């Protein structure tokens, strides 16, 4: 028997966030009282009117294949969303509905990258970008940022990372894991750099658009630099906004030349996203948006409390975020004081001793930081800060 696998498998690693969640679940199954702050999904239920739409779809027999890129009704709802919320105009041929935002990102890499093409990824980044680039034979180029710059990439850092091989840039604002959102002016400055490099396509991952409490309203790179419309693909999903992570419904909106190629890739892999989830997404996008405001208000209240609690811990530095449901404090001082050099080992130590599950920053390209999800009850967050305090003061 020849068990040799494709070389591409050896280039990637399983999602580290899932590894932490799995270890926490194991400890819990063994009877330990583990507080998990590792989850990447809202703890709220999917809104009732969305569930009702899915039940209706089932009863109405909407259970068959749909066009690969989504039904005309779903595309219409997505187009209306971008016109209403983002001032962006798209035609149906510029929209591709996919199995979550994740497949949208994957499709971009598969449709665009050739061997050796460089993918610019500001760190801290969403864990899957580098591996998706590698799976498409691309070369991830990580652009580090610092806590002092609030984990935002400067135009100078972007310019310095660009080479003739640069082909794709992932921008994610508000960011998982840092919680930071670029201002329109900051995006315009990055846009100026990108205008000088016409080969670079931008993937604007707007997944957390609605979970935002910054002083400024949401803007993406196209809002800040409209000339980039022709080479920017917006990635979005109902997953985070409407607490619909399990429904697996996301989309891309971008230039026809790229969206068409991505649709071809998808037509030979998964075909359409689930027909019932498409109907649910229409209800989410077209229905009452009060549920979004309610969830965001809850996230903000938890954020304020958690950031205050973390900032008071010895050896921990925590900046306030602009949105999402993640805090990304710098634990390096506490880590070194405890005799650790490696944040994965330190996160395991925290899990073993304090029974608090966090995701080490190295998973996101920023070692020494820890990602704490506040998509969990306030009582759990309070208890987690208390336990971390006890451990750090030991
Ligand atoms: N992009 C970012 C920044 C994310 O945080 C996530 C999910 O964690 C995704 C994309 C993928 O989202 P989905 O669950 O819709 O596939």
SS3 per residue for 331-360: CHHHHHHCCCCCHHHHHHHHHHHHCEECEE
Cβ-contact 217, 323 below 8 angstroms: no
For 135-180, the DSSP string reads: HTT-EEEEE---GGGTT---HHHHHHH--TTEEEEEEESS-TTT--
CA–CA distance, 3 with 307 (Å, rounded to integer): 49
CA–CA distance, 245 with 137 (Å, rounded to integer): 28
Mutate to test the pocket of ligand 1, among 100, 129, 326 (most ligand atoms within 8 A of CB): 100
pLDDT at 20: 75
**Under the phi-then-psi rule, with left for phi > 0, alpha for psi from -120 to 50, and beta for the rest, what region is 21?**
alpha
Q: Output the CA 294–ligand 1 centroid distance in Å.
A: 21
3-state secondary structure (DSSP) of residue 213: coil
pLDDT at 17: 66
CA–CA distance, 360 with 382 (Å, rounded to integer): 20
Q: Output the CA 386–ligand 1 centroid distance in Å.
A: 30
Cis peptide before 124 (omega within 30 of 0): yes
Using a 10 angstrom Cβ sphere, with 0-12 exposed, 13-18 middle and 19 or more buried, the burial of residue 338 is middle
Q: Which residues line ligand 1 (CB under 6 A)?
A: 40, 100-102, 126, 172, 176, 205, 207, 237, 239, 245, 250
Residue 99 alpha carbon, nearest atom of ligand 1: 16
Residue 40 alpha carbon, nearest atom of ligand 1: 8
Q: Output the CA 236–ligand 1 centroid distance in Å.
A: 8
Q: Whose CA is nearest to atom 8 of ligand 1?
A: 40
Mutate to test the pocket of ligand 1, among 38, 240, 270 (most ligand atoms within 8 A of CB): 240
Ranges in the chain, pLDDT < 70: 15-17
Q: Helix H segments across the chain?
A: 7-11, 16-29, 48-59, 72-86, 100-112, 128-135, 155-161, 184-195, 221-224, 256-267, 275-286, 290-311, 332-337, 343-354, 378-393
pTM of the full predicted structure? 0.96
Residue 37 neighbours by CB distance under 10 Å: 25
End-to-end CA distance of the chain: 54
pLDDT at 19: 72
pLDDT at 16: 65
Q: Considering Cα of 290, then 293, then 298, then 299, what sign does the dihedral take?
A: positive
pLDDT at 64: 98
Q: Output the CA 323–ligand 1 centroid distance in Å.
A: 15
Residue 250 alpha carbon, nearest atom of ligand 1: 15
pLDDT at 394: 84
Q: Output the CA 127–ligand 1 centroid distance in Å.
A: 9
Residue 352 neighbours by CB distance under 10 Å: 11
Q: Output the CA 152–ligand 1 centroid distance in Å.
A: 19
Q: Could you tell me which of 187, 304, 285, 186 has the C-alpha nearest to residue 241?
A: 285
Q: Output the CA 102–ligand 1 centroid distance in Å.
A: 6
Residue 172 alpha carbon, nearest atom of ligand 1: 3
Q: How far is CA 14 from the centre of its chain?
A: 16
CA–CA distance, 325 with 60 (Å, rounded to integer): 36
Residue 333 neighbours by CB distance under 10 Å: 14
Count how many residues are written for the chain.
394
Q: Output the CA 60–ligand 1 centroid distance in Å.
A: 30
């Amino acid at each position: 028997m020849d068990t040799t696998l494709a070389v591409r498998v050896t280039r990637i690693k399983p999602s580290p966030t899932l590894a932490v969640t799995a270890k926490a679940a194991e400890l819990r199954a063994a009877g330990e009282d583990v507080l998990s702050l590792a989850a990447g999904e809202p703890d709220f239920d999917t809104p009732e009117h969305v569930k009702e739409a899915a039940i209706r779809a089932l009863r109405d027999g909407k259970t068959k294949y749909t066009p690969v890129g989504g039904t005309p009704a779903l595309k219409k709802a997505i187009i209306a969303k971008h016109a209403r919320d983002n001032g962006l105009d798209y035609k149906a041929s510029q929209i591709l509905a996919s199995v979550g935002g994740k497949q949208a990102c994957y499709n971009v890499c598969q449709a665009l990258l050739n061997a050796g093409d460089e993918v610019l990824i500001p760190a801290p980044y969403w864990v899957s970008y580098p591996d998706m680039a590698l799976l498409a034979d691309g070369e991830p180029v990580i652009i580090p940022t610092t806590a002092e710059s609030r984990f935002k990439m400067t135009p100078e850092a972007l310019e310095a990372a660009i080479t003739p091989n640069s082909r794709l840039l992932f921008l994610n604002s508000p960011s998982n894991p840092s919680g930071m959102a670029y201002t329109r002016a900051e995006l315009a400055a990055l846009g100026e750099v990108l205008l000088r490099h016409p080969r670079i396509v931008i993937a604007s991952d707007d997944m957390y658009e609605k979970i935002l409490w910054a002083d400024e309203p949401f803007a993406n790179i196209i809002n800040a630099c409209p000339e980039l419309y022709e080479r920017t693909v917006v990635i979005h999903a109902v997953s985070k906004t409407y607490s619909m992570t399990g429904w697996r419904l996301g989309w891309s909106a971008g230039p026809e030349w790229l969206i068409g190629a991505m649709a071809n890739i998808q037509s030979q892999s998964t075909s359409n996203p689930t027909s019932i989830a498409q109907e649910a997404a229409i209800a989410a996008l077209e229905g009452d948006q009060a549920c979004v405001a309610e969830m965001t208000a809850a996230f903000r209240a938890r954020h304020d409390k958690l950031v205050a609690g973390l900032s008071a811990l010895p050896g921990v530095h925590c900046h306030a975020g602009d949105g999402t449901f993640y805090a990304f404090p710098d634990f390096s001082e506490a880590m070194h004081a405890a005799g650790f050099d490696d944040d994965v080992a330190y996160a395991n130590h925290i899990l073993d001793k304090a029974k608090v599950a966090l995701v080490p920053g190295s998973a996101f390209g920023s070692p020494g930081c820890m990602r704490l999800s506040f998509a969990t009850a306030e009582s759990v967050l309070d208890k987690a800060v208390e336990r971390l305090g006890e451990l750090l003061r030991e």
